[in-house]
Amino acid sequence: MSPFTPLTLPNGTRLTNRLAKAAMEENLADADHAPSDELIRLYRTWAEGDIGLIITGNVMVDRRAMTGPGGVVLESGEHRARFAQWAEAARAGGAQVWMQINHPGRQMPAALGQPTLAPSSVAMDMGRFSKQFSAPKEMLDADIAEVKRRFVETAVLAEQAGFDGVQIHAAHGYLFSQFLSPLTNRRTDQWGGSLENRARILLDVVREVRTRVGARFAVSVKLNSADFQRGGFSPEDAREVVRMLNPLKIDLLELSGGSYEAPAMHGQARDGRTLAREAYFLEFAQDIAQVADMPVMVTGGIRRLPVAEQVLQGGIDVVGIGTALALNPALPREWKAGALSVPALRPITWNSKVLASLAYMAMVKHQLRRMSRGKGTNPGVTPLRAFVEQQVDTLLKTRRYRRWIGRQAA
């Protein structure tokens, strides 16, 4: 099947093609943690590349719980006009635009100075980098109820701002992923123990969002195919969660993998069978898709047209692309015109998986910042330069965040 074949979703809306911009964390919010002019310019650039679906980077449901400084927060209608401009820019080329909504749980930088909540009080284990994350407090029932309410309200606000859907993030070691994993969820109440209990918060949120938004508003879930940690969330678990999601009539299931501790989503923890090629979650996705009633999207390392075609021929419905679109936002248009563009970053040869993962993210964010300022991309940026640049940017935005959150609490 061609990547340029339209896809009709279960809610009756249509994607113009089967190529999707997967979520990448931009950290480009303005001083109010609403969409900045730079963020809006970045999404208009992607829109002009003829992509079929655009999924935003993390939008946080709670200003006190951030994946990093400079993140967008949507808790109220205060900045609705800015969000409406963001949605309009992303739709300029005919794509649908979905807002990814998220809560970091224990994966929140300690430097932000906020209390950290998680399913259980299990600290991050990242070797000498572990101290960058505070030990989390186990969530009370009231905390869980508030988080559920916030996800639902953010989804409603996204619809009101003109977005075509939301993607509920339950992958990459963030809060819902923490509930799903027996490594990070050691609860013995209704939220822990069996897989059914561990999936309860995700299923509740999906169900409640679906009842609060319009029938044509897409509801999507991003799920790990595996955590790539011994004793963690497994492919077998993923299959069972998909079976639980089937009756809830979601419009698209995106499959990825990994977490901060095992960053498989950056290609750092792939096994030997998939190390040498792109689409490194494809084998897992094909297996899980066999039990899925909803369309399935796979993301992870795809940057060549023949690989995108292979993904679709293997029974997957949508091809998610991240880094390649950070390097060449016009990639879908070029592929459709017959060009065999293959965007690639410089290789990272660092021995530390954690540092290599941080450098990878920094190299991607280097491209996003350039595009947000109207500049061309720079695939040849060195890992060291991007890493240092990102550290400085994070430091400055962390200071700005702490001043901002302090004013909110005053």
**Taking the chain, what is the end-to-end CA distance rounded to the nearest angstrom?**
56
Q: What are the domain boundaries of the chain?
A: 7-345
**Residue 214 one-letter amino acid:** G
Asked if 294 and 250 touch (Cβ cutoff 8 Å), the reply is: yes
pLDDT at 210 over 90: yes
Q: Which residue has the higher pLDDT, 391 or 272?
A: 391
pTM of the model: 0.94
Asked if 54 and 47 touch (Cβ cutoff 8 Å), the reply is: yes
What's 206-271 look like in SS3? Answer: HHHHHHHCCCCCEEEEEEECCCCCCCCCCHHHHHHHHHHHHHHCCCEEEEECCCCCCCHHHCCCCC
pLDDT band at residue 256 using 50, 70 and 90 as cut-offs: confident
**DSSP 8-state assignment for residue 104:** -
pLDDT at 293 over 50: yes
CA angle 111, 114, 120 (to 5 degrees): 105
CATH classification of 7-345 is 3.20.20.70, yes or no? yes
pLDDT of residue 369: 97
Beta carbons within 10 angstroms of residue 182's beta carbon: 18
pLDDT band at residue 400 using 50, 70 and 90 as cut-offs: very high
With residue 152 as reference, give the H or E element that holds it: helix 141-160
- Look-up of token digits 């989390």: 136
CA dist list (Å): 293 to 160, 265, 289, 354: 28, 24, 8, 36
**DSSP 8-state assignment for residue 98:** E
pLDDT at 50 over 80: yes
**What does the pLDDT look like over 55-87, one tens digit per residue?**
999 999 999 999 999 999 999 999 999 999 999
**Residue 376 one-letter amino acid:** G
Which of 227, 287, 222, 285 lies closest to 254, judged by CA?
222
Asked if 134 and 105 touch (Cβ cutoff 8 Å), the reply is: no
pLDDT (mean) for 195-204: 98
With residue 399 as reference, give the H or E element that holds it: helix 383-409
Which range has the worst mean pLDDT, 46-50, 160-164, 311-315? Answer: 311-315
pLDDT at 272 over 90: no
pLDDT band at residue 273 using 50, 70 and 90 as cut-offs: very low
Which range has the worst mean pLDDT, 223-232, 297-306, 350-359, 375-384? Answer: 223-232
pLDDT of residue 280: 57
Q: From CA 203, how far away is CA 355, in angstroms rounded?
A: 34
